[in-house]
Amino acid sequence: MTARKPHITTAGADPRLAGGRLTIDLDALVANWRFLAEKSKPSNTAAVVKADAYGLGIVHVVPVLWQAGCRTFFVALAEEGLRVKAVAPDARVFVLNGFFAEAFPIYEESDLIPVLGSLHELALWKKLNKSRKEKLPYVLHVDTGMNRLGLSVEEALTFADDGRNQKPVLLITHLATGDNPAHALNQQQFESFQKLRTAFAGIESSIANSPGIFHTEKGEFDLSRPGVAMYGGEPLSDAANPMRAVVTLEARIVQIRTGLMGETVGYGATTTLKRDTRIAICSVGYADGYLRSSSGSGVPLRNAVPGGGEGFVAGKKVPIIGRVTMDLTSFDITNLAERAVKPGDYIELFGPNIALDDAARSAGTIGYELLTSLGNRYHRRYLHTKTAD
């Protein structure tokens, strides 16, 4: 049987005019979600699609996940939730980033479900629901060690004991050190959450984010909610990444020039050439989300992270030279054959040859930031092998 070719959907800038392109492998994204769903069993598996599906586009990501069997989605903002509903009307959508009174009519109309994480929000929700015969559902967020959003464990236990309170449809907490399974705080959070599950018996619960799914001592839960791992990022620190690469970022080479030994490169003259150097100047910069901290020199972070970022072209990795600027980044291609690359060619910034998280580490950050910083000047190609009707 002949293998089916992926269908290509395009978006963003015209490829003839754009300085770079993003290739998003939706088949790989679906394969990652299915892998995480299998690992989560017997729990159900949701998908976190906040920040416009980690920069990849809700309108493209949600439909393929729905087709794969995902029925529950988490977003940060109600506005994002409405965009999920527009492409998956029957999806169950939870809104993580708090609740404000003026948004109540939207929740009444849209079937979105807020995640409430303070006594103030709970009181407000109760007040606004008072005149309704059928109360709108909500999720209860409890802080078990993150010190960010959520009721304290003590507040949640007291709330559970008060029979006058409307019960949530889901109980959640968030792991603070999930990417480091050896950290003692994980076990403390698991134990606290188990007490909460007992107090809220019969209510669906969720503790496992991407790294949490990989914990062997995670205990019982009903719903996992993967995020970064679904998009190809590393779920655990200091462990091989089992996820498939989803995103490839490439920039076009604008010009190739030769700098002479002793000359300097870029803003601040931070790099002095130690040899005659062939330089590929590429149409990508921090305005496109390719972070200035990836620079080869001339930024404070280089004191902490010795090497800057790299590109991949003509079968080899090549280092960034000088500073990443708003629209342009330079690479040292001296070690490539003279005719190996030319203006108009593409250089990979991360993808199959430079892992997302390796590129992030070179910039002193994490894969989350690189994905969610992707700008709108790229030509985007979405690859998806459609199933037969």
Count the neighbouring beta carbons within 10 Å of the beta carbon of residue 374.
23
| 268 in the same domain as 219 | no
Among residues 50, 138, 231, 382, the one annotated as catalytic is: 50
Count the neighbouring beta carbons within 10 Å of the beta carbon of residue 91.
21
Residues 6+ apart with CB under 8 A from 358: 350
What number is the average pLDDT over the span 314-332? 97
Q: Is there a catalytic annotation at residue 267?
A: yes
Strand, coil or helix: what is 80?
helix
Among residues 135, 195, 267, 317, the one annotated as catalytic is: 267
Count the neighbouring beta carbons within 10 Å of the beta carbon of residue 51.
18
Closest C-alpha to 256, from 277, 240, 242? 277
Distance between alpha carbon 293 and the CA centroid of its chain, in Å?
Answer: 19
Q: Pick from 182, 199, 231: which residue ends a domain?
A: 231
Q: Is residue 15 one of the residues assigned to a domain?
A: no
| 223 in the same domain as 146 | yes
Closest C-alpha to 21, from 232, 195, 194, 248? 248
Please give the Cα distance from 39 to 218 (Å, whole number). Answer: 12
Strands of the chain (E only): list them: 7-12, 20-25, 44-45, 47-48, 72-75, 92-95, 113-116, 139-141, 170-172, 204-206, 223-224, 247-259, 264-265, 271-272, 277-282, 310-313, 316-319, 329-332, 346-350, 379-384
How confident is the model over 22-55, as pLDDT tens digits?
A: 999 999 999 999 999 999 999 999 999 999 999 9
| 275 in the same domain as 322 | yes
| 357 in the same domain as 218 | no
Distance between alpha carbon 302 and the CA centroid of its chain, in Å?
Answer: 25
Contact 47, 230 (CB under 8 A): yes
Q: Is residue 254 one of the residues assigned to a domain?
A: yes
Please give the Cα distance from 374 to 286 (Å, whole number). Answer: 9
| Class of residue 112 by CB neighbours under 10 A (exposed 0-12, middle 13-18, buried 19+) | buried
How confident is the model over 278-300, as pLDDT tens digits?
A: 999 999 999 999 999 999 988 88
CATH number at residue 144: 3.20.20.10
Q: What pairing do the DSSP bridges indicate for beta strands 72-75 and 47-48?
A: parallel
Q: Is there a catalytic annotation at residue 342?
A: no
Which residue range is the domain that position 106 belongs to?
Answer: 42-231
* Geometric angle at alpha carbon 170, from 38 and 58, rounded to 5°: 60
CATH number at residue 328: 2.40.37.10
| 349 in the same domain as 211 | no
Please give the Cα distance from 104 to 98 (Å, whole number). Answer: 12
Contact 15, 373 (CB under 8 A): no
Q: Is residue 29 one of the residues assigned to a domain?
A: no
Number of separate domains in the chain? 2
Residues 6+ apart with CB under 8 A from 365: 291, 293
Peptide bond into 42 cis (omega under 30): yes
pLDDT band at residue 2 under the 50/70/90 scheme: low
How confident is the model over 227-271, as pLDDT tens digits?
A: 999 999 999 988 999 999 999 999 999 999 999 999 999 999 999
Say if residue 361 carries a ligand binding annotation: no
Say if residue 326 carries a ligand binding annotation: yes
Residue 216 has pLDDT above 80, yes or no: no
| 277 in the same domain as 372 | yes
What number is the average pLDDT over the span 168-178? 96
| 199 in the same domain as 255 | no
pLDDT of residue 307: 83
Q: What is the mean pLDDT of the chain?
A: 95
How confident is the model over 344-367, as pLDDT tens digits?
A: 999 999 999 999 999 999 999 999
